[in-house]
Amino acid sequence: MNFEKVRTERQRSRHGGLYLRAIVILIAGNTLLAGGKGILAFTTGSSAIFSDAANSLSDIFYSILLGIGLYLAQRPADESHPQGHIRFDPLASLFVALLMTGAGITAVYQSILRFAGGIPTIELALPTLVLLGAALVKVGMFTVLNRTGNDARSPAIRASAQDNLVDILTTLAALVGIWCAHYIHPLLDPTAGIAVAMWIFRTVWVVGKENIGYLTGRGASSEMIEEITQKAYAVKGVKDVHRVIADYVGPQFRVEMHITVDGAMTLDQAHKITEEVREKLEEVLDIDLVFIYVEPHREG
């Protein structure tokens, strides 16, 4: 029996269950919120609420694309993708960024129309209840997704949790906007709508920059290189560690490194050391592939 293959299949099955839970929570939660906010925006005419509803609508498409990306990313390596399909994860995230950009542009356009046209009087009771309820839903989604992302070691799910944390802020910004419009000046509502749109654009920038780095092979930080090096040195029999390279392959790292061992030891002994180094490095989060080159150690 190939125990490594069995272990990999069990891990993939466990991760698949965690991914499914995350996607169901995202799609169900965002559909509920987009529907409620959309109806509220239509009945109140609030630009701030409309901007927040547009953000929730883009989150639905984001959730669907994320689900497709996670499904494709978890497919095992084959002849066409010998290093696996993990790059589909950040690729889906870039499509998500495009959808979020569309939501931000729509929110800005709607706010400009409100500036140019009449500003309706907004009652506070129902919008306040709906937006506070939406914020509480997002708090619950963030808590569950953050825990699920950590359990699955999935940067994509952890990123979606952070997106929900941002959504809490945008919803509260919409709430502040309608309250300020009611008690201070009506123009503060479309102003809040534009502020929400700007926050959406900021999130697009962060998501786009991060995932372009995943796709283009951005290197690891010096701190992570040092951690990798020290873990290799911690294995008994490793004399030296050099030429350590760690770069992104999708949202996870591929590590290449050279180690030196006693040149008099047998090939079996040297191989055992490399396997121990590999196991040590797999303790570091987000490392997917490890390539270790063994050289005989020479003093000086």
HEC per residue, 177-197: HHHHHHHCCCCHHHHHHHHHH
Identical fold for domains 3-215 and 222-296, yes or no, is no
CA atoms of 241 and 210, how far apart (whole Å): 29
Q: Which two tokens stand for residue 256?
A: 């290449």
Q: What's the Cα-to-Cα distance from 239 to each of 57, 273, 274, rounded to whole Å? A: 56, 11, 12
Q: Look at residues 197, 180, 145 and name the one whose alpha carbon lies nearest to residue 25.
A: 145
- Sketch the domain layout of the chain as residue ranges: 3-215, 222-296
**Cβ neighbours for 253, distance < 8 A, ≥ 6 positions apart:** 220, 224, 246, 247, 286, 287, 288, 289
Q: How far is CA 297 from the centre of its chain?
A: 42
Question: Tens digit of pLDDT per residue, the chain (300 long)?
Answer: 433 443 445 455 556 678 788 888 888 888 888 888 888 888 877 766 777 787 788 788 778 877 887 777 777 777 777 666 777 777 777 777 777 787 778 778 777 776 766 555 556 777 788 888 888 988 999 898 888 877 776 767 777 787 787 778 777 777 777 787 778 777 777 777 788 778 778 878 887 888 788 788 788 888 889 989 999 999 999 999 999 998 887 777 889 999 999 988 999 999 999 999 998 888 776 787 889 999 998 776
DSSP 8-state class, residue 219: B
Classify domain 222-296 by CATH number: 3.30.70.1350
**Positive or negative CA dihedral for 123, 129, 132, 138?**
negative
Find the helix packing angle between 47-73 and 3-44, rounded to 10°.
160
**Which of the following CATH numbers is that of domain 3-215: 3.30.565.10, 1.20.1510.10, 1.10.357.10, 1.10.1060.10?**
1.20.1510.10
Does the model's pTM come out above 0.85? Answer: no
Composition of the chain by helix, strand, coil, percent to 5: 70, 10, 20
Q: Look at residues 113, 21, 29, 35 and name the one whose alpha carbon lies nearest to residue 67.
A: 21
